[in-house]
Amino acid sequence: MPAKRFTILIIPEGSHQVRRFAVRSTVIKGIVAASVILALGLTALIVDYAMTNLDRHELQRLQVENLSQREELDQLVGKLEVLRQEMVVLAQNDAKVRVMAKLTAPKGDSIAGVGGPARADDSDREFSEIQQRIDEVRRQIDLRRESQEEIQGILNDQRSLLAAKPLGWPVKGWLTSSFGIRRDPFNGKRKMHEGLDIAARTGTPVIAVADGIVSSVKTQPGYGKVVTIDHGYGYRTIYGHNSKYHVKVGQRVRRGDRIASVGNTGRSTGSHVHYEVRLNGVPVNPRKYL
């Protein structure tokens, strides 16, 4: 049987007197249990204290970080607003250019204003509004890019068209015969004259009246030595009765480049240039392009 009592002997040093104490086993068990509970309780308190300190430091760190993020967020909102205002100015300038170029406004071209003070108690809504602003700025950037590309394309086409459209005199001289029905200088019969005759001294430079590519350099019956230039957009110019060529087939020329020299070749009564302008293959009066 387990002992019900325990005897504790206490012998003081230098004394022969022995003190005896009888302690029940239940008391011993109670003391041990209380000690264990006390130890566990103290351990729990120490752990809780340590965790509380850690949580406090973490909370302080998060509060500082949150404050820093709030400041950065406010700065971002300010920069977004400045950017949005700049986009408004760009949109206005773009609209002016499109009006000058006689273009319609691009689809969906509008600046949506999003604003209002930040609400600390509704961060989700605040972030949602910031995301809306970012998406709106991105959309406006895409619109401006598309609009600028369209305007640039149209202006390039217009620049190319202007460069390809005949302009000015092909030679320094004086007009001797106009476009239209006239009497043939050789047989006196009335006949359509499909260009202008511009008299000048033999050897005078004949120049291209627009940008283009030389499509023909050859001698033709009646026209003598002829240079033909294809300018694109349906325009073609013809220069006849030359004395000398200064270009070859396939050569690209610019307005003002020398292409030939005035002569008296072919069916001609004197030194001059027969100058024609054809639009989509149809002869038109060159005077409107001088």
94 and 238 inside one domain? no
Does a structural domain hold residue 139?
A: yes
198 and 151 inside one domain? no
Does a structural domain hold residue 77?
A: yes
* C-alpha distances in Å from residue 170, one per residue of 176, 181, 209, 272, 288: 14, 22, 6, 11, 13
pLDDT of residue 141: 79
Does a structural domain hold residue 90?
A: yes
91 and 193 inside one domain? no
pLDDT of residue 225: 96
Q: Compute the distance between CA of residue 171 and CA of residue 154 in angstroms, rounded to an integer.
A: 32
Q: Compute the distance between CA of residue 67 and CA of residue 61 in angstroms, rounded to an integer.
A: 10
180 and 142 inside one domain? no
Does a structural domain hold residue 49?
A: yes
Range of the domain at 269: 174-289
pLDDT of residue 111: 46
pLDDT tens digits for 60-109? 888 777 777 777 777 777 777 777 777 777 777 777 777 776 677 665 55
The label of the residue with tokens 């202008």 reads: 196
CA atoms within 13 A on the CB side of 100: 9
The torsion angles phi and psi of 214, rounded to 5 degrees, stand at -70, 120
Task: Give the relative orientation of helices 25-100 and 123-164 as an angle to the nearest 10 degrees.
Answer: 30
Q: For residue 278, what is the domain's CATH number?
A: 2.70.70.10
259 and 130 inside one domain? no
pLDDT of residue 120: 46
E runs forming strands in 157-285 = 174-177, 180-183, 190-193, 196-199, 205-207, 212-220, 224-232, 235-245, 252-253, 258-262, 272-279, 282-284
Does a structural domain hold residue 169?
A: no
- What residues of the chain score a pLDDT lower than 50? 110-121
Asked if residues 171 and 207 have their Cβ atoms less than 8 Å apart, the reply is yes
17 and 114 inside one domain? yes
Does a structural domain hold residue 189?
A: yes
Asked if residues 228 and 242 have their Cβ atoms less than 8 Å apart, the reply is no
Domain count, the chain: 2
Does a structural domain hold residue 157?
A: yes
pLDDT of residue 189: 79
Does a structural domain hold residue 232?
A: yes
47 and 84 inside one domain? yes
